Amino acid sequence: MPVMMRALTDTLNNKRREDAAEQVLLFHIKLAKNEPRFLRRQLVDVVGTMFDIAEDKSLEERTRHLAIEFVLALVEAREKAPGMMKKLPLFTTTCFAVLLNLLLDIKDKPSWHSLEIWYDQAGVTDNYIYGRECLGRFSKALGGKTIAPIELEQLDAYLVVPEWEKRHAALIALSQIAEGSSKVMMKYLEQIVYMVAFQDPHPRVR
C-alpha cells in the first residue's frame, strides 16, 4: 500500500497524467468498498493522502471528488469494518471540515437579491452539490451520536465569521445533519435554535 500511495502522488504531481491517477483512485474506491480491512494497517497514511488530494485546488475537480469518494466508501463500509474509521485520530473532525469547504464554492450576484422569486439553485456549483450530498452520507454512516457534537462545534464557529459563504454553508450543513440524525439532534435543540434564530444581513443566508 505505501508503494501504491507513492505511485498515486507521483502521478498526480505530473499534471499531464492526472487521468491515470483517476484510474488508481477508482481502484482504491473499489478496494475500500469490498475489502476495507485490507487498508487497516496503513489507514492513517492513506486517508491523510486522500484528504491532501481532496483539498488541492490545483487538481481537477473530478480527481478531488474521487479522493473524497474513497474516504466515504470506507465510512459506509461499516458492516465489513465496524468502528474502523471512528477509531482513526481526528478523522471525524477533519473529514467534516473537508466536506464543509465544498459548500463554500457558491456564487452570488447582487441582482438576485431584488428578485421577488429567488431560486435556491442559483449560483450553485458541482463542488457545492457534491459537498451537500456527501455531508448527508457522512452523517448517516457515522451516526448522530458520533457526529453531532463535533459538527455543531464547527458550525457554531462558521456562523460568526464575516464571510456569508461560511454562514450559508453552516446552515446547509446543519440541515443535512438533521436529516440523517433527527433523534440525536433533538438533544441539541436549544443550541440549534440559538444558532439559526438570527437575522443575517445577506439574503442568501437569511
Quote the mean pLDDT of the chain.
Answer: 82
Distances in whole angstroms, Cα of residue 178 to Cα of each of 61, 152, 163, 205 = 27, 11, 23, 18
8 Å CB contact between 6 and 12: no
Output DSSP code: residue 106: B
pLDDT at residue 31 tops 70:
yes
Neighbours of 158 (CB within 10 A): 21
- pLDDT tens digits for range 6-20: 778 877 877 667 788
The average pLDDT across 47-63 equals 94
Q: Which residues share a beta bridge with 124?
A: 106
Residues 6+ apart with CB under 8 A from 186: none
For CA atoms 123, 63, 54, 59, give the dihedral sign: negative
pLDDT at 194 over 80: no
pLDDT reading at 42 higher than 60 = yes
Confidence of residue 56 (pLDDT cuts 50, 70, 90): very high
Mean pLDDT of 56-66: 94
- In order, the DSSP letters of 49-105 are HHHHHHT-TTS-HHHHHHHHHHHHHHHHTTTTSTTTTTTSTTHHHHHHHHHHHHTT-
- The full set of domain ranges for the chain reads 1-89, 90-205
Q: Could you identify the residue written with the cell 488530494?
A: 53
Question: Grid coordinates representing 1?
Answer: 500500500
What pLDDT score does 135 carry? 92
For residue 144, name the pLDDT band (cuts at 50, 70, 90): confident
Segment among 7-16, 32-41, 179-188 with least mean pLDDT: 179-188
Question: Three cell numbers at 8?
Answer: 498515486
